[in-house]
Amino acid sequence: MRRTAIMLAGFVVLLTLGATAQEDRSEISLQGTGFFTRDTNGQGISRTASDTGGLMVGYRYHFNRWLSAEGNYGYDRNTQKYFSGFGESRVQANVHTVTADLAVNLPLPTRRVSTYLLAGGGGLIFDPTRNRGGFVPGADNQGRGAFLYGAGADYVFTRHFSLRAEYRGFVYKNPDFGLRALNTDSWTHTAQPSAGIVFRF
Protein backbone atom coordinates (compact mmCIF):
# COMPACT_ATOMS: atom_id res chain seq x y z
CA MET A 1 0.00 0.00 0.00
CA ARG A 2 2.80 2.38 0.94
CA ARG A 3 4.69 1.59 -2.27
CA THR A 4 1.54 2.26 -4.31
CA ALA A 5 1.05 5.61 -2.57
CA ILE A 6 4.66 6.62 -3.29
CA MET A 7 4.30 5.62 -6.95
CA LEU A 8 1.02 7.55 -7.19
CA ALA A 9 2.60 10.63 -5.59
CA GLY A 10 5.56 10.39 -8.00
CA PHE A 11 3.16 10.13 -10.95
CA VAL A 12 1.26 13.22 -9.80
CA VAL A 13 4.54 15.15 -9.46
CA LEU A 14 5.59 14.12 -12.98
CA LEU A 15 2.20 15.18 -14.37
CA THR A 16 2.51 18.55 -12.62
CA LEU A 17 6.01 19.09 -14.00
CA GLY A 18 4.82 18.09 -17.44
CA ALA A 19 1.89 20.49 -17.30
CA THR A 20 4.19 23.29 -16.15
CA ALA A 21 6.62 22.55 -18.97
CA GLN A 22 3.75 22.60 -21.48
CA GLU A 23 2.75 26.06 -20.30
CA ASP A 24 6.07 27.48 -21.52
CA ARG A 25 6.19 30.23 -18.91
CA SER A 26 9.69 31.58 -19.69
CA GLU A 27 10.98 33.49 -22.68
CA ILE A 28 14.21 35.09 -23.84
CA SER A 29 14.25 37.99 -26.28
CA LEU A 30 16.91 39.65 -28.43
CA GLN A 31 16.08 42.99 -30.05
CA GLY A 32 17.67 45.73 -32.10
CA THR A 33 16.77 49.15 -30.71
CA GLY A 34 16.65 52.82 -31.57
CA PHE A 35 17.63 55.42 -28.96
CA PHE A 36 16.16 58.91 -29.41
CA THR A 37 16.54 61.48 -26.61
CA ARG A 38 14.60 64.74 -26.32
CA ASP A 39 16.56 68.02 -26.20
CA THR A 40 16.38 69.94 -22.93
CA ASN A 41 17.77 73.06 -21.30
CA GLY A 42 18.19 74.57 -17.85
CA GLN A 43 20.45 76.82 -15.82
CA GLY A 44 21.64 78.56 -18.98
CA ILE A 45 22.74 75.27 -20.61
CA SER A 46 21.14 73.57 -23.62
CA ARG A 47 21.64 69.83 -24.05
CA THR A 48 21.12 67.71 -27.15
CA ALA A 49 21.94 64.05 -27.77
CA SER A 50 22.74 62.16 -30.95
CA ASP A 51 20.22 59.58 -32.18
CA THR A 52 21.63 56.08 -32.23
CA GLY A 53 20.85 52.36 -32.15
CA GLY A 54 21.77 49.41 -30.00
CA LEU A 55 20.82 46.01 -28.67
CA MET A 56 18.61 44.71 -25.88
CA VAL A 57 18.35 41.25 -24.32
CA GLY A 58 15.62 40.24 -21.88
CA TYR A 59 14.02 37.49 -19.85
CA ARG A 60 10.27 37.36 -19.18
CA TYR A 61 8.35 35.04 -16.88
CA HIS A 62 4.59 34.56 -17.30
CA PHE A 63 2.74 34.18 -14.00
CA ASN A 64 -0.48 33.51 -15.91
CA ARG A 65 -2.04 34.46 -19.25
CA TRP A 66 -2.50 38.08 -18.12
CA LEU A 67 0.57 39.05 -16.09
CA SER A 68 4.33 38.74 -16.63
CA ALA A 69 7.51 40.08 -15.04
CA GLU A 70 10.69 40.77 -16.94
CA GLY A 71 14.22 42.07 -16.69
CA ASN A 72 16.18 43.65 -19.55
CA TYR A 73 19.67 44.86 -20.35
CA GLY A 74 20.30 47.28 -23.20
CA TYR A 75 23.38 48.84 -24.75
CA ASP A 76 23.65 52.00 -26.85
CA ARG A 77 26.29 54.66 -27.52
CA ASN A 78 25.53 58.33 -28.07
CA THR A 79 27.03 61.79 -27.68
CA GLN A 80 25.64 64.38 -25.28
CA LYS A 81 26.25 67.97 -26.44
CA TYR A 82 26.08 70.87 -23.99
CA PHE A 83 25.86 74.50 -25.16
CA SER A 84 26.37 77.48 -22.85
CA GLY A 85 27.93 80.93 -22.84
CA PHE A 86 31.32 79.22 -22.57
CA GLY A 87 30.86 77.29 -25.82
CA GLU A 88 30.14 73.66 -26.63
CA SER A 89 31.13 70.54 -24.71
CA ARG A 90 30.70 66.96 -25.96
CA VAL A 91 30.69 63.72 -24.03
CA GLN A 92 30.45 60.45 -25.94
CA ALA A 93 29.24 57.66 -23.68
CA ASN A 94 28.23 54.02 -23.67
CA VAL A 95 24.72 53.86 -22.25
CA HIS A 96 23.79 50.72 -20.32
CA THR A 97 20.12 50.30 -19.40
CA VAL A 98 19.10 47.85 -16.68
CA THR A 99 15.36 47.62 -16.06
CA ALA A 100 12.62 45.50 -14.51
CA ASP A 101 8.91 45.76 -15.23
CA LEU A 102 5.50 44.13 -15.15
CA ALA A 103 3.72 43.42 -18.42
CA VAL A 104 -0.06 43.06 -18.74
CA ASN A 105 -1.18 40.98 -21.70
CA LEU A 106 -4.18 42.32 -23.63
CA PRO A 107 -6.80 40.03 -25.17
CA LEU A 108 -7.07 39.95 -28.97
CA PRO A 109 -9.42 38.00 -31.23
CA THR A 110 -6.46 36.32 -32.97
CA ARG A 111 -4.15 33.64 -31.59
CA ARG A 112 -1.22 34.67 -33.78
CA VAL A 113 -0.81 38.16 -32.30
CA SER A 114 -0.47 38.98 -28.61
CA THR A 115 -0.16 42.54 -27.30
CA TYR A 116 0.89 43.94 -23.95
CA LEU A 117 1.47 47.07 -21.89
CA LEU A 118 4.41 47.41 -19.50
CA ALA A 119 5.57 49.68 -16.69
CA GLY A 120 8.52 49.56 -14.34
CA GLY A 121 11.82 51.19 -13.53
CA GLY A 122 15.54 50.82 -13.51
CA GLY A 123 18.65 52.77 -14.33
CA LEU A 124 20.67 54.22 -17.18
CA ILE A 125 24.43 54.14 -16.68
CA PHE A 126 26.41 56.65 -18.73
CA ASP A 127 30.02 55.56 -19.20
CA PRO A 128 32.23 58.10 -21.06
CA THR A 129 34.32 56.51 -23.83
CA ARG A 130 37.09 59.11 -23.47
CA ASN A 131 37.44 59.11 -27.26
CA ARG A 132 39.06 62.15 -28.82
CA GLY A 133 36.58 64.91 -29.64
CA GLY A 134 33.96 63.47 -27.30
CA PHE A 135 35.34 63.93 -23.83
CA VAL A 136 35.39 66.66 -21.19
CA PRO A 137 38.16 66.45 -18.56
CA GLY A 138 36.71 65.27 -15.25
CA ALA A 139 33.64 63.59 -16.80
CA ASP A 140 32.93 60.41 -14.86
CA ASN A 141 30.54 57.43 -14.97
CA GLN A 142 27.05 58.32 -13.83
CA GLY A 143 23.86 56.38 -13.16
CA ARG A 144 20.37 57.85 -13.44
CA GLY A 145 17.21 56.25 -12.08
CA ALA A 146 14.45 56.00 -14.68
CA PHE A 147 10.71 55.39 -14.94
CA LEU A 148 9.87 52.98 -17.74
CA TYR A 149 6.64 52.54 -19.71
CA GLY A 150 5.83 50.88 -22.99
CA ALA A 151 3.79 48.59 -25.20
CA GLY A 152 4.46 45.85 -27.68
CA ALA A 153 3.14 43.03 -29.82
CA ASP A 154 4.35 39.52 -30.60
CA TYR A 155 3.58 37.66 -33.79
CA VAL A 156 3.59 33.93 -32.99
CA PHE A 157 5.12 31.66 -35.63
CA THR A 158 5.35 28.51 -33.53
CA ARG A 159 4.81 27.56 -29.92
CA HIS A 160 8.43 28.47 -29.13
CA PHE A 161 9.26 31.23 -31.61
CA SER A 162 7.83 34.75 -32.14
CA LEU A 163 8.71 38.09 -33.66
CA ARG A 164 8.40 41.16 -31.40
CA ALA A 165 7.86 44.86 -32.07
CA GLU A 166 8.03 47.11 -29.02
CA TYR A 167 8.17 50.70 -27.84
CA ARG A 168 9.76 51.76 -24.55
CA GLY A 169 9.97 55.21 -23.03
CA PHE A 170 12.40 56.29 -20.29
CA VAL A 171 11.95 59.38 -18.11
CA TYR A 172 15.05 60.41 -16.15
CA LYS A 173 17.19 63.34 -15.06
CA ASN A 174 19.76 64.59 -17.56
CA PRO A 175 23.28 63.27 -17.00
CA ASP A 176 25.97 65.80 -16.09
CA PHE A 177 28.83 63.29 -15.56
CA GLY A 178 29.54 64.82 -12.17
CA LEU A 179 30.41 68.23 -13.62
CA ARG A 180 28.62 71.36 -12.48
CA ALA A 181 29.32 73.02 -15.85
CA LEU A 182 27.13 70.34 -17.54
CA ASN A 183 24.31 70.35 -14.99
CA THR A 184 21.01 71.46 -16.55
CA ASP A 185 18.98 70.34 -13.51
CA SER A 186 16.27 69.14 -15.90
CA TRP A 187 14.52 65.93 -16.92
CA THR A 188 14.45 64.28 -20.30
CA HIS A 189 12.75 61.47 -22.21
CA THR A 190 14.29 58.76 -24.38
CA ALA A 191 12.18 56.82 -26.89
CA GLN A 192 13.37 53.29 -27.61
CA PRO A 193 11.54 51.50 -30.44
CA SER A 194 12.74 47.96 -31.06
CA ALA A 195 12.17 44.78 -33.02
CA GLY A 196 13.53 41.29 -32.59
CA ILE A 197 12.96 37.63 -31.84
CA VAL A 198 11.53 35.76 -28.87
CA PHE A 199 12.20 32.18 -27.83
CA ARG A 200 9.68 30.73 -25.38
CA PHE A 201 10.31 27.65 -23.25
Alpha helices in the chain (DSSP H): 2-23
CA-wise closest residue to 122 among 97, 139, 141: 97
The DSSP secondary-structure symbol of 43 reads T
User: What is the structure's pLDDT at 111?
Assistant: 84
3-state secondary structure of 8: helix
CATH architecture assignment, domain 26-200 = Beta Barrel (2.40)
- What is the model's pTM? 0.85
Q: Is residue 11 very low, low, confident or very high in pLDDT (cuts 50, 70, 90)?
A: very low
- Pairwise CA distance, residues 165 & 107, whole Å: 17
E-only strand ranges, 110-141: 113-128
Mean predicted confidence (pLDDT) in 48-59: 98
Q: Which of 64, 69, 56 is nearest to 165 (CA)?
A: 56
Give yes or no for residue 1 having a pLDDT over 60: no
